[in-house]
Chain A
């Protein structure tokens, strides 16, 4: 049974904040396929296309037939815990600071033997399932968990190292005016978030969601992403207690290049969707990085909510999507810049949401509840890339198969929005 995670005591300002340390990051190129699967929460291994031998550790040639064609394929994550140990001391600082650390070896039903982290609720020599998770270095590692869910299993100290679970953490949501914000606040509260702060632009202007936010007791703070001083002011007051930052701010109008006729809206889109992200990162990033190992409520994740059309554009929302593509590109740089501290960047790619700006589009659309659930679920599983809704999943799958084919099929005549 996992010991329930206790809320952290109030921070003692006289004590040194624990410097972020990370597990080993070096990996071979071959192993990065595991990382790509972990970013989306999948369990995949190399499988030989010629003889079907499942391989591990990652390699460049099949251990059975020397074929070099071994695509990463989702395989069964089930197996048996063969042996285990609890590491009590390590030459590596990260593990040394977190010992005791339970690890073991698992014989996978699919074939290979896998050295992995072992969840505290796994019984010795039991059947287990492997989860492919990103560790604090942003690298894929495998954790053996019991085959049946156990109560509070997310509180396991080793599992919590891999996730960005909102439980006992403080969350900043950047846009109170986004129609999905009340649903997001509710999902975070249900997930055990300790405090929720919400940024509010143009506070004098009324909007429908405000009553709901006030009712849920969130801390509304003035925040205008187009104004560097405003972002810096909030970071000065709240940067030291922002454990998870969810940037859901957006400025959007429909239309491609020719339909718009000028660059006025595009400037606004860039100001909010691209430069807004940059201002936030410059103001909040360094402080969050410094607190990435700061106990139960360490800074854990940075979340960007993006249109899935950032991957592949089409004219109906062509200019808005372009600003999202810029934000997506920026997020990749940011992810690499935060990685040294162990702070995770999670991009949530959503299909068209159920709100006024996407009104002319046919279903399926993403409800605010579904988007909120995806965000919280992604944090709890420690993901880097989340595709929310059927449209996003479909577009991502097509993107994975062939980005050029996708571009062409999305921009043929018809309703390819």
Chain B
């Protein structure tokens, strides 16, 4: 406590991979993880046998854990990790893997997130999500976090005079971005009118405030800069990274997240300011939480998100590129891969590999994560600043 964090100098991120999502899949989480792992290793010209670090995030591996996956996939890592943090898992995986590489516990860590979505598997997962959810939210009709975010949105709207249009603009811009992203599930343009007239789900939340559960996987590699140069791989540097759990427990309702606790270190370590960011990838299972991240990550003050975004263009060619591949709201929520989608896209962006969603001259990207509605709020928050080499 109180000690300065050490920098992530010398460790880089490479080989971002997104396996195109599917609404329903007959395949398993193992299949999705294996597929993403294979692609990311292929990009680095690595064989599975050569990989010595492996980090996995998944909700649907049961009864397996990453331990079982090593045998299943023929890996023999000397460093193995599992990140059960849902929407915060990408940045947390990055943080841990980077330290392992820095310390020499592993040369190359593959960070993979993947989940399948069978018909009815989402419903069955909800009932056993957490003990507090089982005891104290699921019996009240909270099939998934819709109603939790409805409460949050309801309170946010009254507290800060926000309107549904304020949230709608986030969704509409992301859909515009998604139309450029081949992997997105939602391919139809979305207007603000479509958003406002959508079927109500849990007031004030309607259909386009919610993500669609899908199957999919995401992956990237963490290695030393020397290794990346030797292999001739485009790479991104880690300016800084934070995580925090169960912050502000005394707040009766979650109108701010744990990012606020560690914000100064996030920008201090990266020697950057919010205005330096060329793009922002927030965790977006509902637009209200993206709004809160934009506030809590210092782009504007608490409650000023609606005003701040009102005259911003959040598309890839705009002045505030946000969730450049459409985020989960348009690309779909592939379980724990939802905690990776923004990070993997950000690696593509700052390494110039984003193709049709590329933001011009993207040098610095802010990625943040939010996860695990254990009862009445999300417990995990994380954020990282990535820099072009």
Q: Which residues of A contact B (CB under 8 A)?
A: 23-24, 26-28, 30-31, 56-58, 63, 82-92, 95, 101, 103-105, 107, 113-117, 125, 135, 137, 139, 141
Contact = CB atoms under 8 A, between A and B. Distances in A.
B139 A57 contact: no
Nearest to B251: A113
Contacts of B201: 87-89
Contacts of B152: 83
B212 to A, nearest CB: 13
**Residue of B147, B199, B200, B204 with most chain A CB atoms under a 10 A cut-off:** B147
Given A91-B144, A101-B141, 12 more contacts: A26-B127, A57-B135, A58-B136, A82-B253, A86-B202, A89-B202, A92-B138, A104-B151, A105-B376, A107-B252, A135-B139, A141-B140
Give the bracket for the number of chain B residues in contact with chain A: 35 or more
Contact of B252 (A82, A84, A139): A82
B205 interface: yes
Given A107-B252, A115-B376, A28 B134 contact: yes
B66 to A, nearest CB: 27
Contacts of B134: 24, 26-28
Closest 9 CB pairs of A and B: A85-B150, A91-B143, A57-B136, A83-B155, A95-B141, A83-B151, A91-B123, A31-B135, A57-B132
B139 A141 contact: yes
Given A101-B141, A105-B253, A88 B200 contact: yes
Interface in B85-144: 122-123, 126-128, 131-132, 134-144
Contacts of B128: 26
B146 A82 contact: no
B203 interface: yes
A5 to B, nearest CB: 21
B203 A103 contact: no
B375 interface: yes
A82 B140 contact: no
B144 A116 contact: no
B154 interface: yes
**Residue of A31, A91, A117, A125 with most chain B CB atoms under a 10 A cut-off:** A91
**Residue of B122, B137, B144 with most chain A CB atoms under a 10 A cut-off:** B137
Given A27-B135, A31-B135, A113-B252, A83 B140 contact: no
A115 B203 contact: no
Interface in B131-174: 131-132, 134-144, 146-147, 150-152, 154-155, 158
B271 to A, nearest CB: 38
A145 B140 CA distance: 15
B119 to A, nearest CB: 12
Given A91-B126, A103-B147, A141-B139, A57 B375 contact: yes
Contacts of A95: 141, 143
Contacts of B200: 86, 88
Contacts of B135: 27-28, 30-31, 57-58
A61 B199 CA distance: 42
13 contacts: A24-B138, A28-B134, A31-B135, A56-B136, A63-B249, A82-B151, A82-B253, A83-B151, A85-B147, A86-B203, A91-B126, A92-B138, A95-B143
B203 A85 contact: yes
Contact of A85 (B123, B143, B144, B202): B202
A28 B143 contact: no
Contact of A87 (B132, B138, B146): B146
B141 A90 contact: yes
Nearest to A118: B140
B203 A88 contact: yes
Contact of A88 (B136, B154, B202, B252): B202
B211 to A, nearest CB: 14
B375 A103 contact: no
Contacts of B146: 87
Contacts of A141: 139-140
